[in-house]
Amino acid sequence: MATTVLMSDHDLPTRSASGFILKYIAPRVEPVQLFSVFVRRTPFRLAAPQSDIIIGVGHGSETIFSGHNEAVILEVGKYNSREVEGKVVKLLSCQTGALLGPDLVKNGAEAFLGYVDDYVWVMDSDLATRPWADTMAAASLIPVVDGLNALLDGKTAKEAFDIELEGYTRNAEVEEDELVKSCLEFNRDNAILLGDLEARVRARPPLPLPFRLVPPPPNLVPLRR
């Protein structure tokens, strides 16, 4: 089974979040990886049924998860259940845990991990061309990466979820900036896990040593402001 990773990249928040997935998750999973302009409904519709895990970064609302330039990827009642059946779905997006997540589980997703309110963090917009170097954003996004890596190590959805929550708590405890701390606590309190808590995906091999030494992805093109 393949992994479907959707990494929207059209504005500062999607650039920041996808940057971390690109650096820390993409190298250890096989295609299909949909990046930037390829995060659209048709490529997703073709890739998703062959995957056992769907990892999505993009803007969202209670009923919609969107990709590049807000192209709708998943909307309550408007997708084929084959796209999510038997899969673990992780959406790094706002509010999709409210209605879309339950709908995905109702339509056969084995587990859903998302957020019931906005996902917020503080990033350094001077680092938009190499978002993975942003230590401010890392406080919030590394717990997400840790949770995803746990899933890809073969841990259960509940174990991966707990790892993400512990990451927020740990980072909030040592954070001096009250705004960053509030964001971490907010994301932790709004994280949600639905479906089978014992759901697992096929364990992917850890990155072998040579790959750990591979430099990060090349700088990304600057965003138009």
- Name the site residues for other proteins (rule: CB under 8 A): 11-14, 16-17, 57-61, 64, 66, 70, 92-95, 117-127, 136, 176-179, 182-183, 185-186, 189
> Rounded to 5 degrees, what are φ and ψ at 52?
-105, -10
For the bound state, the minimum distance from the C-beta of residue 147 to other proteins, rounded and expressed in Å, comes to 16
Q: Rounded to whole angstroms, how far apart are CA atoms 156 and 211?
A: 25
For the bound state, the minimum distance from the C-beta of residue 137 to other proteins, rounded and expressed in Å, comes to 8
Task: Give the nearer residue to other proteins in terms of CB position, either 88 or 92.
Answer: 92
For the bound state, the minimum distance from the C-beta of residue 50 to other proteins, rounded and expressed in Å, comes to 26
Q: Rounded to whole angstroms, how far apart are CA atoms 72 and 39?
A: 9
For the bound state, the minimum distance from the C-beta of residue 2 to other proteins, rounded and expressed in Å, comes to 24
Q: Rounded to whole angstroms, how far apart are CA atoms 71 and 109?
A: 22
Q: Assign 3-class secondary structure to 15-39.
A: HHHHHHHHHHCHHHCCCCEEEHHHC
Task: Give the nearer residue to other proteins in terms of CB position, either 107 or 182.
Answer: 182
Task: Give the nearer residue to other proteins in terms of CB position, either 11 or 153.
Answer: 11
Task: Give the nearer residue to other proteins in terms of CB position, either 2 or 120.
Answer: 120
CA atoms within 13 A on the CB side of 110: 15
